[in-house]
A and B are shown apart, each in its own frame.
Chain A
Amino acid sequence: MVLGQEQAQRYARHFVLKEIGVSGQKKLLQSGVLVIGAGALGSAAIIYLAAAGVGTIGIADYDKVEISNLQRQVIHKTGRTGMKKTVSAELSVKELNPDINVRLHNEKITPDNITDIIAMYDFVIDCTDRFETKFLINDACVLAKKPYSHAGVVRFEGQAITYVPKKGPCLRCLLGSVPPPQETMTCSQAGVLGAVTGIVGSVQALEAVKYLIGAGDLLTGRVFTIDGLSMVSKVTAIPHSDPDCAVCGNAPSILSLNNNREEYEVKSCSF
């Protein structure tokens, strides 16, 4: 792979980083990352992946842009209300970096389609807004041995972890099962500040880039949390997976997504 003159200029700030360099840039350009959810986390994650030159970006979403999204979903624009979020996100990606091959998955992610979709990519980023879907993505990635980034944000708070097979706990190790709807608040009920989603979505893009170029220490076995009000951010080491985890443990009960379908059905009210 030979980089063109424009690419050489575009990625010049990467070439001087010893962790990336020309060879790392080529790796990024030859990699594929799937972002599930083109909402608030997805806005930051997708844009930074595109800027970094991740060659193929998959975008999965089935919503349309609404004016109430724009206070935080900065990949979308006022003139695009009513447009599919995937299409709007692709427009923004192409404006920023026409090199990127964008693949749109304009459908709801379900136990039936997720395994085939994630198989097309090197790394998956969960930018969805419900625990049910987050557990679906977790279990699908664990069963497919696919590395992925989990994150969540509400109000001024957020967290992120990175799952890499055999390198630490999965989301189900940490939480057990989908929290009941009365225990969770989605952003529409609780509110959320866009800048906080930007921080956490950027962390997810950073994890993807680090994974792809093999640099630094991932959030595997570690939970990143941030409280934007107190401005306290922490990384808590939780190095060991739960040997009794229902999906990644020693005697898992979730052997296929199909036999656990009910848990993935969204019970919390909609976003």
Chain B
Amino acid sequence: MVKINGNELDVSGKTIAQYLSETNYSTARIAVERNGEIVPKSQYDAVVLEDSDTVEIVSFVGGG
């Protein structure tokens, strides 16, 4: 199980890009942190989620 924003999800084995494609996140406006380190956007295709990973996804908006 992977903990994403505090929820245990059965997504280990998927890349971050695969996981995100199944959600409503706008990838250009999010920051993804895995196990305490920022995952750069260029790595979303390469990083595979593993059991006991802790992931935080934060959305940003641009208005003011």
Contact = CB atoms under 8 A, between A and B. Distances in A.
Given A239-B36, A242-B40, A127 B28 contact: no
Interface stretch (B7-15, B16-24, B45-53, B55-63): B55-63
B28 A175 contact: yes
Interface in A214-271: 223, 225, 236-242, 244, 268, 271
Would you call the interface of chain B mostly helix, strand, loop, or mixed?
Answer: mixed
Would you call the interface of chain A mostly helix, strand, loop, or mixed?
Answer: mixed
Question: How many residues of A sit at the interface, in one of the four size bands?
Answer: 35 or more
Contacts, number: 97
B26 A179 contact: yes
Nearest to A127: B64
Interface stretch (A9-17, A84-92, A152-160): A152-160
Interface residues of B, number: 20
B64 A240 contact: no
Interface of A: 37, 39-42, 126-131, 134, 151-155, 157-159, 169, 173-176, 179-180, 183-187, 190, 192, 197, 223, 225, 236-242, 244, 268, 271
Interface of B: 26, 28-31, 33, 36-38, 40-42, 56, 58-64
29 contacts: A39-B64, A130-B62, A152-B60, A152-B62, A152-B63, A153-B63, A157-B61, A158-B61, A159-B60, A159-B61, A174-B38, A174-B60, A175-B30, A175-B60, A179-B28, A179-B29, A183-B26, A183-B29, A184-B61, A184-B62, A185-B61, A185-B63, A186-B62, A187-B63, A187-B64, A190-B63, A238-B38, A240-B36, A240-B38
